[in-house]
Structure 1
Amino acid sequence: MKICIFGAGAIGGYMAAKLAKAGAEVSIVARGPHLAAIQSRGLTLIEENAAPVTVQVRASAAAADLGPQDYVIVTLKAHSVPPVVGAMQPLIGPNTTVVSGVNGVPWWYFHKHGGALEGTRLASVDPGDAQWNGFGPDRVLGCVVYPAAEVSEPGTIRHIEGNRFSLGEPDGSKSDRAVALSQALTAAGLKAPVRPRLRDEIWVKLWGNLSFNPISALTHATLDVLCTDPGTRAVARRMMVEAQEVAEKLGVTFPIDVDRRIDGGAAVGAHRTSMLQDLLADRPMEIDALVTSVQELGKLTQTATPTLDAVQALVALRGRVAGLYG
Structure 2
Amino acid sequence: MTSICVFGAGAIGGLLAAKLEMAGTAVTVVARGPHGEALRSRGLVLLSDGKETVTEPRVASDPKEIGPQDYLVLTLKAHSLLPAMAQLKPLIGPNTTIVAAINGVPWWYTYKLGGDFDGRIIQSVDPEGELTAGLPPSQVLGSIVYPAADVAEPGVIHHTYGDRFTLGEPDGSRSERASKFSELLIKAGLKAPVRPRIRDELWVKLWGNMAFNPISALTGATLDKVIGDPGTHAVCRALMVEGQAVAEKLGVKFAINVDKRIAGGAEVGAHKTSMLQDLERGRPLEIEALLGGVVEMSEWVGVDMPIGRSVLALVRQRAAMR
State TM-score, norm by structure 2: 0.98
How far does residue 277 in structure 1 lie from its aligned partner after superposition? 0.4
Partner of 1:266: 266
CA distance in 2, matches of 1:193, 1:40: 35
Q: Secondary structure at the match of 2:118?
A: coil
State TM-score, norm by structure 1: 0.97
CA distance in 1, matches of 2:130, 2:191: 31
How far does residue 104 in structure 1 lie from its aligned partner after superposition? 0.2
Partner of 1:36: 37
Is residue 81 of structure 1 aligned with residue 81 of structure 2?
yes
CA contact (8 A) 1:82 1:127 kept: no
CA distance in 2, matches of 1:137, 1:14: 25
For residues 18-167 of structure 1, what are the structure 2 equivalents within 5 Å? Answer: 18-50=19-51, 52-167=52-167
CA distance in 1, matches of 2:84, 2:150: 23
Partner of 2:255: 255
Divergent runs of 4+, >3 A: none
CA distance in 2, matches of 1:67, 1:144: 26
* Number of equivalent positions: 321
Q: Secondary structure at the match of 1:120?
A: coil
For residues 280-291 of structure 1, what are the structure 2 equivalents within 5 Å? Answer: 280-291=280-291
CA distance in 2, matches of 1:212, 1:173: 32
CA distance in 2, matches of 1:136, 1:43: 31
How far does residue 135 in structure 1 lie from its aligned partner after superposition? 1.9
Q: Deviations over 1:167-205 (max 9, x none)?
A: 000010110000000000110111111000010011000
Partner of 2:299: 299
How far does residue 113 in structure 1 lie from its aligned partner after superposition? 0.7
**Counterpart code for 2:46:** L
Q: Deviations over 1:107-165 (max 9, x none)?
A: 00010111111111111111121221012111111000010001101111010000110
**Counterpart code for 2:43:** G
How far does residue 86 in structure 1 lie from its aligned partner after superposition? 2.2
How far does residue 83 in structure 1 lie from its aligned partner after superposition? 1.9
CA distance in 1, matches of 2:210, 2:94: 36
Ranges in structure 2 where 5+ consecutive residues have no aligned partner: none
Deviates more, 1:119-128 or 1:212-221: 119-128
When the two chains are superposed, the root-mean-square deviation of aligned CA atoms in Å is: 0.8
Q: Deviations over 1:207-248 (max 9, x none)?
A: 000000000001111111111211000000110000000000
Partner of 2:215: 215
**Counterpart code for 2:135:** F
Q: Deviations over 1:24-50 (max 9, x none)?
A: 121011221011100111101111133
Ranges in structure 1 where 5+ consecutive residues have no aligned partner: none
How far does residue 302 in structure 1 lie from its aligned partner after superposition? 1.1
Partner of 2:239: 239
Instruction: Among all aligned residue pairs of Structure 1 and Structure 2, give the percentage whose two residues are the same amino acid.
Output: 56
Partner of 1:174: 174
**Counterpart code for 1:129:** G
Partner of 1:275: 275
CA distance in 2, matches of 1:74, 1:120: 22
How far does residue 72 in structure 1 lie from its aligned partner after superposition? 0.1
Q: Secondary structure at the match of 1:69?
A: coil
CA contact (8 A) 1:86 1:134 kept: no
CA distance in 2, matches of 1:122, 1:154: 35
Q: Deviations over 1:230-274 (max 9, x none)?
A: 100000011000000000000101111111111111111000000
CA contact (8 A) 1:3 1:73 kept: yes
CA contact (8 A) 1:108 1:140 kept: yes
CA distance in 1, matches of 2:114, 2:305: 24
How far does residue 299 in structure 1 lie from its aligned partner after superposition? 0.7
